[in-house]
Amino acid sequence: SHVADLIAAGEVVERPASVVKELVENAIDAQAHAITVEIQNGGMSLIRVTDDGCGIAPGEVETAFLRHATSKIRSEYDLEAIGTLGFRGEALAAIASVARVELLTRRLEDTLGTSLTLEGGVVTGKEEAGCPAGTTLLVRDLFYNTPARLKFMKKDAAEGAACLAAVQRQALAHPEVSFKFLKDGKQELLTPGDSQLRSALYAVLGRDMALGFTKVEGSGEGMTVSGFTSLPACCRGTRGYQFFFVNGRYIKSKTMTAAVEQAYANQRMVGKFPGCVLHLTTKLNAVDVNVHPTKQEVKFGAERQVFSAVYYAVLAALGADQS
């Protein structure tokens, strides 16, 4: 029902950055190599995400906007061991119910693509369309029909910054994908998509900051930890440069934060925090990702093992650097 859609929408779509996150995740799930995100007015008037992924079949475009329509969960087992990013089939339905949406999509094997337009979740047009292979999702006038939600939006600059942060996280999660981010026509991020985390790190943090990072590689407790962590001399007065990923998914974890900071405990760190980009790889079912759709704080089945894997990997990286 319409009411159910609006309630679901509020859970998934809190602000423009949540739209960006969901659309980019869909593009990644579609095996895109290049993803472009454009926003205008902090994403409030326009968000456009273009990918060169698998596209959607002409007969499936409406289905993609139905609640709980997902092509990604095939069994109960899949629900427990979620490998793809999208996991509830709610994002497109939720976004479409609170905005004006245009989908343009073509599969490589089709000669013609499809364009579908929706307003407030209602389909207003469907046509065959000539377009490049891949998918473009255009989201205009976010929350135009939910004034209560509109009131909670911050200034465009803050919403735009949150959109950029969402793209940066995905860029660090997926160095194999080239990300481009444009804000009001100005390019603010371009990653090469050369599969090197180091290149993505340079693009996201800038050369000066990236040079202060050293490589982390470790394994133990049935998991691997890899990435980069800042040299003690290059730590900053904020935790804003800490990025954690589990099995390719950006997460927040008090355990991983504590493990990293503990590894710096014998450094002089008054008022300073390490930066890091750490990827933890573990058996899928060791992590509970099926938490609230927008909350990124995860629970591990094995907090202590995660702590020590991260702690020792970072400690080794700092030690190796000093020798």
Among 20, 49, 91, 99, binds Mg ion (CB under 5 A): 91
User: Which range touches ligand ADP (CB under 6 A), out of 46-54, 114-122, 210-218, 306-314?
Assistant: 46-54
By CB under 6 A, residue 121 contacts ligand ADP: no
Among 9, 46, 91, 223, binds ligand ADP (CB under 6 A): 91
Q: Residue 97: which of ligand ADP, Mg ion, none does it interact with, CB under 5 to 8 A by kind?
A: none
Q: Residue with CB nearest Mg ion?
A: 86
By CB under 6 A, residue 34 contacts ligand ADP: no
Min dist CB 76 to ligand ADP, Å, is 16
By CB under 6 A, residue 245 contacts ligand ADP: no
By CB under 5 A, residue 103 contacts Mg ion: no
User: Which range touches ligand ADP (CB under 6 A), out of 26-34, 179-187, 260-268, 296-304?
Assistant: 26-34
Binding mask 19-48 for Mg ion (x = CB under 5 A): -------x----------------------
In b/e form, how buried is each residue of 27-36, taking b as 16+ CB within 10 angstroms? bbbbebebbb
From CA 130, how far away is CA 127, in angstroms rounded? 10
Comparing CB distances to ligand ADP, the nearer of 73 and 258 is 73
By CB under 6 A, residue 50 contacts ligand ADP: no
User: Which range touches Mg ion (CB under 5 A), out of 80-88, 130-138, 270-278, 294-302?
Assistant: 80-88
Phi, psi (degrees; rounded to nearest 5) at 137:
-115, 120
Among 6, 34, 57, 69, binds ligand ADP (CB under 6 A): 69
Among 16, 55, 86, 160, binds Mg ion (CB under 5 A): 86
Min dist CB 84 to ligand ADP, Å, is 7
Taking CB under 6 A as the criterion, which residues in 135-164 touch ligand ADP? 135
User: Which range touches Mg ion (CB under 5 A), out of 88-96, 136-144, 220-228, 309-317?
Assistant: 88-96
Closest among 140, 157, 67, 51 to 98, alpha carbons compared: 140
Interacting residues toward Mg ion by CB under 5 A: 26, 86, 91
